[in-house]
Amino acid sequence: MAQKTIMLVCSAGMSTSLLVTKMQKAAEEQEIDADIFAVSSSEADAQLDNKDVNVLLLGPQVRFMKDDYEKRLSPKGISVDVINMSDYGMMNGENVLQQALNLIDN
C-alpha cells in the first residue's frame, strides 16, 4: 500500500489527470511512495468511502466545495485545500505535490 494517498477533485476529472501524471513523476523523482489520483466531484464521495485518503486537493474550478469537505473530513483527519491557481494552470506537479505533502505532515 502507498504511504501517502492524495486525491484531487475537479469538475470532470479530465484536466486534473494531466496534473496527476506530473505529480506522480515528481514523487518518483523524490522517491516518495504515493498513490495520487483524480476524480470528478460526482465521484469523490464514493472514493472517500473506499480509499484511505490522506489529503484532498480541490481544483480551482470547484473551490466552492472546500467548506463542505472540511466539515465532513476534518473529523477523519483528512486535510482539504484548493490547488494554487497558477500551479494548476501551469500543471506544476512538483509544487502541487509539495502542497499535498505539507498538508499531510501538519
Rounded to 5 degrees, φ, ψ at 90 are -90, 0
**CATH fold group of domain 4-105:** Rossmann fold (3.40.50)
Between 16 and 64, name the one with better pLDDT. Answer: 64
pTM of the model: 0.94
Rounded distance between C-alpha atoms, residue 5 and residue 22, angstroms: 15
Give the chain's end-to-end CA distance (angstroms, integer).
21
Q: What are phi and psi of 53, to 5 degrees?
A: -90, 135
**Average pLDDT of the residues in 2-27:** 90
- Distance, CA of 11 to CA of 32 (rounded, Å): 27
Catalytic residues: 10
* Residue extents of the structural domains in the chain: 4-105
pLDDT in tens, 23-71: 999 999 999 999 999 999 999 999 999 999 999 999 999 999 999 999 9
Provide the grid cell at 60. 480551482
